[in-house]
Structure 1
Amino acid sequence: MIAATINFNAIAQITDDQFYQLCRENPDVKFERNAQGEIIIVSPTGGETGSYNSEINADFVIWNRQTKLGICFDSSTCFKLPSGANRSPDVSWIKQERCDALTPEQKQKFPPISPDFVLELMSPTDSLKQTQDKMQEYMNN
């Protein structure tokens, strides 16, 4: 993943609602936000990585349909983590009872919850260090 990070903190603090609106107004751009409030523009994946991600996501959906233990999410889902970061893991899963505790509005926007399970698929352009840091961020939350 080739990403660009933009720090607007010196001129403006972007609220959760403003970040949500930014994402809604720019549907062709995938944004994340780190715990420091910096906006991360994430490039789309290549065909090979996208195919792998689709297969892995399908495996989790099939498993979840059989077990009925929770809810699966794809890479388009953005979560508001307790640290303040907004992240979109490639595959994520949340226990049913934790999902049920969210309000309808929380479910509609970026759910303020850290997934119970995340999977990040590394593409050839991904940095191992950045991916490890991102996985640590999920575990910390």
Structure 2
Amino acid sequence: MIETAFISTETFTSDEFERLMEDLPADDINDYELIDGRIIMTPPPGWPHGECESGIVIELGSFVKARNLGRIFGSAQGFRLTEEDTVAPDAAFVSNERWAASPAPVMGKHLHVIPNLVVEVLSPTTAKRDLEDKKQLYEQCGGDEYWQLDPRQRSVTVLALEAGRYVMADFAQGSGRVHSRLLSGFSVDLKDIFPAG
């Protein structure tokens, strides 16, 4: 499967982007994000992206829900980070405290809150954006932790925010576990998020 992305030449605000998204046909299966005011459209990623995404949402969700720490979201949820940036990470955690301090959610709209923890599953189409542009965006907006899952390398990189910059907090490739600094006691075994084959 060849994946290609479309990036608009015209720039938009997050309000304009949200209105455009409301006008999309119901059967549109593409993913849309707004980064630096430019709309980025990508086709659905191929296997094993969805299986990795489901795995991390289940692991993160089970941990957070069992301890009533906050809310978990998958890639269907958009987050309005700035007036020029609206993204939909593959998984996101928002703490109870941050949720309570954010504007009230509106049914069917993007959330106006910076997730505490974001996860991006890399694909050929999104890898550069996830590793560079979105990393910088999450860092600037104050995302406490950023996880990068690479199905091709079977690796997980955990970045933690320290003094306004991301630093490597943990890494595993092939096998082993990665640990969160933000969520004390939360760790993931790579075999639980990467399919066997």
Task: Provide the rounded CA distance (Å) in 1 between the counterparts of 2:116 and 2:42.
Answer: 23
The equivalent residue for 1:22 is 20
**In the alignment, is residue 120 of structure 1 matched against residue 120 of structure 2?**
yes
The question of whether the paired residues in 2 share the 8 Å contact of 1:32 and 1:41 is answered with yes
TM-score normalized by the length of structure 2 = 0.61
Task: Provide the rounded CA distance (Å) in 1 between the counterparts of 2:125 and 2:13.
Answer: 28
The question of whether the paired residues in 2 share the 8 Å contact of 1:93 and 1:118 is answered with yes
CA deviation after TM superposition for structure 1 residue 23, in Å:
1.4
CA deviation after TM superposition for structure 1 residue 95, in Å:
0.8
The equivalent residue for 1:31 is 32
Q: Sort the Cα spacing of 1:69 and 1:43 in 2 relative to 1 into closer, same or farther, 3 A.
A: same
Write out per-residue CA displacement over residues 70-120 of structure 1, whole angstroms, 9 at most, x where no aligned residue. Answer: 111101111111363111111111111211233334575211221110011
Q: CA RMSD in A?
A: 2.1
The question of whether the paired residues in 2 share the 8 Å contact of 1:80 and 1:111 is answered with yes
Taking CA–CA contacts closer than 8 Å with sequence separation of 6 or more, which of the two structures ends up with the larger relative contact order? Answer: 1
Task: Provide the rounded CA distance (Å) in 1 between the counterparts of 2:131 and 2:59.
Answer: 23
Higher helix share: 1
The question of whether the paired residues in 2 share the 8 Å contact of 1:92 and 1:115 is answered with yes
List structure 1 runs of 4+ shifted beyond 4 angstroms. Answer: 105-108
Q: Secondary structure at the match of 1:7?
A: coil
CA deviation after TM superposition for structure 1 residue 128, in Å:
4.4
The equivalent residue for 1:132 is 131
Task: Provide the rounded CA distance (Å) in 1 between the counterparts of 2:95 and 2:108.
Answer: 17
The equivalent residue for 1:69 is 69
1:3 to 2, 5, 15: 5
What percent of counterpart residues are identical? 26
Is the radius of gyration larger for structure 1 or structure 2? Answer: 2
Q: Sort the Cα spacing of 1:47 and 1:89 in 2 relative to 1 into closer, same or farther, 3 A.
A: same
The question of whether the paired residues in 2 share the 8 Å contact of 1:49 and 1:121 is answered with yes
